[in-house]
Amino acid sequence: MAEMSGDHTGTEQARASSRIQASIVAKRQGAQLPAADIRGVVDDYVNGRVPDHQMAAWLATIACRGLDLAELTELTDAYVSGGERLHLGRLGRVVLDKHSTGGVGDKVSLVVAPIVAACGVAVVKMSGRGLGHAGGTIDKLEAIPGIRLDLGPDDIYALVERVGMTIVSQSPALAPGDGATYALRDVTGTVESIPLIAASIVSKKVAVGASGLVLDVKTGAGALIPDRSEAGLLAETMLRLARQFGLTCGAVLSDMSQPLGRAVGNALEIKETLSFLRGEQVPGLWEACSVLARLLLQSADPALCDADADARIAKAVAGGAAHERFLEWASAQGADRRVLERPELLPGAKHVVPIIADRAGWVSDVAPRAVGMASVHVGAGRLAHRAPLDHGSGVWVNSHVGSRVEAGQTLAELHYNGGDHDLAVDLLTRAFTISDEPVQAPQMIHQIYPSHGPVD
């Protein structure tokens, strides 16, 4: 019996090997891959019939040759197949999702979700951990004592009904094809492939089951795809792909040429989020958050004009409803509300080192990757897989592009308890460039793709 099983397994592996080899050759020659081949290759890899080296070659060929919309749709569906799905439609209300391609100081999800929920539209957000120089939403939330982020479907449904929102960690059971291939992409130079990024992101959103989605695609030096035209192509590709699956989808092309807001680091970003929701003005953050919140509200109600949407958003913040919604939601997921009401009780740093301007002028650059890596080197991010985080460490950015500074003025602060703080100080010092001439602050929103509008 075991021998028969072994023979059967060997036959399946031989067929799988033949299929993926033929698929690699066909795509290398510019052919369109049949749907059955795409699904077969992904299924073979998920079930262990194809080794890493062959799958890496397949992914690399796609990264080089690309996929058309039909192929991309099949790949996305193959990523979802065999995994769990949420059925948010059972709640009888519009439930929306929001995704960012990530960046330095990007706490937009933490701000936008409670604003939109306070406006009466439900939001379900599945988030991940930090990657490289960019922080992850789950890492930031874990700075809050007691919060639970690994929740099952029933808990998610209950939270949406109770407080109108939830932010949870991504389930490995969702989109298993993407989960199987993502780590391989990370070590084979295929992370930045537009079709592979699009399939990865949209497959998880399809599995989540929201009725609408808004994408925040970052561009600039700190973004996954720095080039604006390439980032625009990614946004348009994901819009088309999401709509293939019936998702109402809009997108924003936003700036990541410098850190977003002042805080970079887990507890620091939670503190800034709470301050923002209490009405504090944060450079750049309001413009990004208000536009994304508006698109989400208009996704739920296409008849809502910009002015009315903006008025609802401003009222939710100014009146305290968005701040209270954050506290209600976090408490419902186990957070200690008393700590959130007194943010100084969140994790902090024993040491704070100021980064000082050596001359007067105008800030012309705040290199986001350098700032992000400075925070990583003091423990706010990971240099090794599964490394523990220091939630109290990070960077506070006092000056942004366009700011006038004087000699001796503090440009930023490094908050640390340990780690390689000397390297972090060097990175931060070199992150700032000061010009003799006035510099214009960068535009935060480069392009808006409305949820119900055409894709250029």
> What is the pairing mode between strands 410-416 and 263-264?
unpaired
Neighbours of 161 (CB within 10 A): 12
- Our answer to whether residue 178 is catalytic in this structure is yes
Cα distance between residue 450 and residue 453, in whole Å? 5
Pairing verdict, β 212-219 and 432-435: unpaired
What is each CA distance from 16 to 12, 24, 89, 347, in whole angstroms?
A: 6, 12, 37, 50
Of 204, 218, 262, 377, which is the active-site residue? 204
Nearest to 401 by CA among 371, 363, 369, 436: 363
200 is catalytic: yes
User: Two tokens at 432?
Assistant: 């700032």
The owner of tokens 């193959």 is 78
Q: Are 417 and 392 in contact (CB under 8 A)?
A: yes
Three-state secondary-structure class, residue 84: strand
204 flagged as catalytic: yes
99 is catalytic: yes
Active-site residue, from 133, 185, 205, 312? 185
**Which of 109, 171, 200, 375 does the annotation list as catalytic?**
200
Instruction: Given the residues 27, 98, 99, 262, select the one marked as catalytic.
Output: 99
The count of other CB atoms within 10 Å of the CB of residue 86 is: 20
Amino acid present at 225: I
- Contact partners, residue 353, CB within 8 Å, separation at least 6: 413, 414, 416, 421, 425
Task: Enter the tokens of residue 255.
Answer: 């700036």
Of 375, 143, 418, give the one whose Cα is nearest residue 267: 143
C-alpha closest to that of 339 among 271, 261, 273 = 271
Instruction: Measure the CA–CA gap between 319 and 115, rounded to whole angstroms.
Output: 11
- Quickly list DSSP for 79-125: HHTTSB---GGGGSS-EEEEEE---TT--HHHHHHHHHHHTT-EEEE
Q: Looking at 77, 178, 216, 390, which residue is catalytic? A: 178
The DSSP element (H or E) to which 404 belongs, if any, is strand 404-405
Active site residues: 99, 178, 185, 200, 204
